[in-house]
Structure 1
Amino acid sequence: MKQPGGRAVLKALLVVVGVVLSVILVASAFFTWNPGGPGPLLVPRFSWGRFLRELPSHLAWFIPFLILSAAMLPLRAIQWQTTLSKRVPLLERYHLVAIGAFTHNALPGKLGDFIRCFLLSRTQRIPFVQALGSVAVCKLLEFVALMVLVFVSFLGPFGDTMASFAGPLRIALGVCVGLMALVVVLAHYALPMARWLDRKRRLPRASNLLAHVSEGLGTARSFRGMARALVFSVGPVLAPALAYGLALHGLGVKGGLFAGAVVLGAIALGQAIPGVPAGMGIYYFVTSWAARSLGASDEDAAAFAALTHLGTAFSQVSLGALSVRLRGIRIRDLRKGGSLARDAANHVAHESVSPHHSPA
């Protein structure tokens, strides 16, 4: 009886930690900390009056940013087909990607990819783990495409300035290579391992899971398939990289178009830190810091962080909400702990014990 209460306390504590971290990190875009010194603890980085008066001047880059951010959804829907094991109509893929984006940005739990895979499994009869594997390959190839764009951007006018990012990027490259190797190994050996476990009559759940994983990662078994999927993964990365580059260019950062991929890479690395429940705070901290590092003023860096966050959330939430409405899904079913999430968990549990049919 104490365990549920303990979990509730731990969950509440994590929420409090996340909120506090988010507030501190968001504040870093607008204030500098002055602990132990004379004056207030928080010192504004700029004049708030001038900051608010100049916000309308950013519309010149904010509107293209909105359009490019929204373009990520259809581009991801096109990309997704390259890793799926069967043909799925484009409109269906688009709606599921949009619903996932809505869930990720508007609801707690970051269940967007989980929900879109579960909905695909229900509408297209694709096992959930296979659908999840196809999304995992998409995410990995987007990461690869992003790393390529980042290294290409070092050839631009910020080559010297971006030298400070070299250390984290080496780590990112190592992670990228390691994940690619893991996916390729699983794609080639998950099914043989599942068959071996079947013959030995051991671990039936693990055997079934490995069989579904093998199907979901099927693209990774072929160099041609991976190369084709990588080509289609450039679009979902290039659109936001260009959006951030146009934003930096609009702020007057010289050569800002080349730096958009670097900012996007910094965001991806910052928000990939496991166990840190402060995604929005990390976004504000990373984007404002990156903009200042590339030459933007404190005021412009804060506007860059706030408006790009607003633009990303608005474009993806609004389009996702439209897809939610068109598909007749209730918002409460998308919440963490809602009936759809519980159904998804039950579905995965069912798949793990259902007998699979391994290809001959």
Structure 2
Amino acid sequence: MGTNSPAGGGAVRRFPPWLGTVIVYALSLGCLLWVYHDFDWRLELPKLARVHWAWILLAVACDVLVYFSQAWRWNILLRPVARVPFWRSVQAIYIGLFANEVLPLRSGELIRCYLLTVWDKIPFPLVLSSALIERLIDGVWLIVGFALVSLSAELPKEIEIGVWILASVVAVIGGLVVFSVLNRRFAHHMTTRHRWSEQLRRVVEGLHAMGRSKSFPAAVAASTVYLALQVIPIHAMLQGYGLNLPWGAAAIVLVVLRLGTVVPGAPGNVGLFHLCGFLALHRMLGVDAQTAKSLSGMMFFVVTVPLLAAGAVALATTGSEIREIYHSAHQHRRGQAPTEPLNK
């Protein structure tokens, strides 16, 4: 009896590549339907006329500018391995943000790392190490923020489950990073029989170099500034809707949004973003359901549309399309032939 396995064993069933995308989009659609299934659109239109749009414009400006602090932090992390021009880091980040808004599964993280690799001739695994450290620091701060928020507000069960998952992931990644930082020789003892072993070795070396550098405490401090600045646009939007809530309320919304969207999803985390915003505003801060749903939609607009515009400008300077860069980044990650350098 014939088999599909070249070794004569049972046939290996593989999930079709499109299945994950279908699941992600179905989840996003389900979240949107759950949040807005009873939303009264006719009642909301007159309310929009009473929104203080100056506060909304301030939120837009602050949300766009906050990523300059991310570029500053990124440069500090990369300092032990390369000196990257600040504006080049800014450009790579905004192109990555643009990709996150139009492509699923947060593809912008891969793209921004690839761009610095091509532009500044930094080995891709080293740039990837810096992004990994960024996410680890952010994860630690979010868990700390969750602990503080839980002291002042009752968290929905959905958020608590997400936090435990995040804490587990951060603990595993943190343990690996600490081991890499303290045991540099580990990288040199890894096998070289596999195609990815050299890439992994360089990632470990990058973690070691950045984690033990004198600039690492400055990067942690910059991460604090980066996360704190993200409170400003949320506070501005609360004020724009006439909700005279304290700064702590904006911090609660930020923590829930960041925790709820930490798992890669649909472009812009549509649906999941709306659900987390609604849960934070309605279930935790006591905002009425109609206003909470409206404000969640406004927050998504403020976060998404300006970043699309800024990212489109940054992308236009490269002379390439985002799908072309995405394809090249995946080829580079797999160790295939490098593409021609993009314009800076």
* TM-score class normalised by the smaller sequence: 0.7 to 0.9
The letter of the residue matching 1:20 is: A
The 1-side partners of 2:98 and 2:145 are apart by 27
Q: Determine if the alignment matches structure 1 residue 248 to structure 2 residue 238.
A: yes
Match of 2:341 in 1: none
| Equivalent of residue 80 in structure 1, options 74, 90, 94 | 74
Tell me if structure 1 keeps the 8 A contact 2:58–2:233: yes
| Equivalent of residue 49 in structure 1, options 6, 18, 42 | 42
Match of 1:28 in 2: 34
The 1-side partners of 2:155 and 2:332 are apart by 47
Q: Determine if the alignment matches structure 1 residue 70 to structure 2 residue 61.
A: no
Deviates more, 1:95-104 or 1:134-143: 134-143
Match of 1:341 in 2: 326
Q: Determine if the alignment matches structure 1 residue 234 to structure 2 residue 230.
A: no
- Residue 203 of structure 1 aligns to a residue whose secondary structure is coil
The letter of the residue matching 1:344 is: A
- Residue 230 of structure 2 aligns to a residue whose secondary structure is helix
| Equivalent of residue 117 in structure 1, options 107, 113, 117 | 113
Match of 1:313 in 2: 304
Tell me if structure 1 keeps the 8 A contact 2:105–2:267: no
- Residue 298 of structure 2 aligns to a residue whose secondary structure is helix
The letter of the residue matching 2:203 is: V
The letter of the residue matching 1:57 is: R
What are the Cα deviations for residues 301-335 of structure 1, in whole angstroms up to 9, with x where unaligned? 11111111011111211111111112322x2xx22
Tell me if structure 2 keeps the 8 A contact 1:78–1:90: yes
The letter of the residue matching 1:61 is: W
| Equivalent of residue 203 in structure 1, options 193, 199, 203 | 193
Shift in Å, 1:104: 1.0
Deviates more, 1:125-134 or 1:12-21: 12-21
What are the Cα deviations for residues 233-255 of structure 1, in whole angstroms up to 9, with x where unaligned? 12321222232233234445453
The 1-side partners of 2:163 and 2:301 are apart by 30
TM-score with structure 2 setting the length: 0.81
The letter of the residue matching 2:67 is: L
| Cα 1:275–1:186 shift into 2, 3 Å | farther
The letter of the residue matching 1:313 is: T
- Residue 35 of structure 2 aligns to a residue whose secondary structure is coil
| Equivalent of residue 187 in structure 1, options 161, 174, 181 | 181
Q: Determine if the alignment matches structure 1 residue 212 to structure 2 residue 202.
A: yes
Shift in Å, 1:231: 0.5
Structure 1: gaps spanning 5 or more residues: 32-43, 353-360
Deviates more, 1:235-244 or 1:217-226: 217-226
- What is the aligned-residue RMSD (CA, Å)? 3.2
- Residue 77 of structure 2 aligns to a residue whose secondary structure is coil
| Cα 1:215–1:223 shift into 2, 3 Å | closer
| Equivalent of residue 319 in structure 2, options 319, 322, 328 | 328
Shift in Å, 1:351: 8.4
Match of 2:9 in 1: none
TM-score with structure 1 setting the length: 0.77
The 1-side partners of 2:69 and 2:163 are apart by 28
Deviates more, 1:223-232 or 1:81-90: 223-232
Match of 1:288 in 2: 278
Match of 1:131 in 2: 127
| Cα 1:12–1:142 shift into 2, 3 Å | closer
Shift in Å, 1:103: 1.0
The letter of the residue matching 2:62 is: L
- Residue 50 of structure 2 aligns to a residue whose secondary structure is helix
The 1-side partners of 2:18 and 2:156 are apart by 38
Shift in Å, 1:203: 2.9
The 1-side partners of 2:18 and 2:175 are apart by 38
Shift in Å, 1:269: 2.4
**Percent of residue pairs identical:** 23
Tell me if structure 2 keeps the 8 A contact 1:146–1:265: yes
Tell me if structure 2 keeps the 8 A contact 1:219–1:226: no
Structure 2: gaps spanning 5 or more residues: 6-12, 338-344
The 1-side partners of 2:171 and 2:213 are apart by 15
